[in-house]
Amino acid sequence: MAQLLVDVVAGHIDAAVAQIADLAPQLLSSAPALPSVVPYARCVLHADAQGEVLLMHWRQGAVSAIHDHGEAAGLVVALQGDFVEQTVELTASGPKVTGKRTMPATQGARLDVAQGDFHVMCAPRGGISLHIYTPTPRVMRVADPELRTIWIVGEGHGAWLPVEPALVKGKLPWPA
């Protein structure tokens, strides 16, 4: 997994995606157990000062909360199942979808995740995805449109509304 991260940091994305295709059977067999409450189970496969590699197992119909990845950027590769991503702008009147991409579990398909962009991921039929972020996200923002609050959550928290108070680092007001 460390080599995946090295390739992504160096900008060798095609090499990383090819390596992921080779690792897919091993990754699929080591997917974490499906969660019962949150949208997906997450397992950190590798983390160091340069970034992290995560394996996620999504429930059928699972939808993440609106979130960003803090100071990190990265990529997502579908290993099993199809995924839909919507980029979102937080506006005074509520979330505004600014883009939509579909990622099938076919060799070479990936989503690039830009630093600071808010987005939502959905797994209509469930699935397994591999996520590589650089640097390691120390905090991320998770938006709650109902409470008009943006939660700042720490490492170990996924892209869902906070359920672990110890991982909540703070909150920001909704944009005016």
The 10s digit of each residue's pLDDT in 40-68 is 999 999 999 899 999 999 999 999 999 99
Q: What percent of the chain has pLDDT over 90?
A: 74
β-bridge mates for residue 167, sequence order: none
Q: Could you tell me the CATH number of the domain that includes residue 37?
A: 2.60.120.10
pLDDT category of residue 157 using cuts at 50, 70 and 90:
confident
Q: Once rounded to an integer, what is the mean pLDDT over residues 25-40? A: 92
- pLDDT value of residue 107: 73
| 18-37 b/e (C-beta count within 10 Å ≥ 16 → b) | eebeebbeebeeebeeebee
- pLDDT value of residue 171: 94
pLDDT category of residue 37 using cuts at 50, 70 and 90:
confident
**Within-domain flag for 171:** no
**Within-domain flag for 25:** yes
Flag whether pLDDT at 2 surpasses 80. Answer: yes
Tokens of 94: 């509520």
**Within-domain flag for 40:** yes
**Within-domain flag for 165:** no
- pLDDT value of residue 49: 87
Count, residues in the chain: 176
**Within-domain flag for 176:** no
> Which residue, 31, 59, 51, is CA-closest to 43?
31
**Within-domain flag for 157:** no
Whole-model pTM? Answer: 0.92
- pLDDT value of residue 156: 82
**136 contact partners, CB below 8 Å, separation of at least 6:** 47, 48, 49, 50, 51, 52, 72, 155
pLDDT category of residue 1 using cuts at 50, 70 and 90:
confident
- pLDDT value of residue 106: 83
DSSP 8-state secondary structure symbol assigned to residue 31 = P
Q: Once rounded to an integer, what is the mean pLDDT over residues 84-97? A: 96
**Within-domain flag for 45:** yes
Flag whether pLDDT at 108 surpasses 90. Answer: no
d(CA 4, CA 10) in angstroms, rounded, equals: 10
Tokens of 168: 């909540």
> How many separate domains does the chain show?
1
Find the domain containing 119 and state its range: 2-135
Tokens of 68: 């960003």
**Within-domain flag for 163:** no
Contact call for residues 144 and 159 (beta carbons, < 8 A): no
- pLDDT value of residue 166: 86
Average pLDDT, the chain: 92
Q: What percent of the chain has pLDDT over 70?
A: 100
Contact call for residues 158 and 40 (beta carbons, < 8 A): yes
d(CA 1, CA 6) in angstroms, rounded, equals: 9
β-bridge mates for residue 57, sequence order: 41, 128
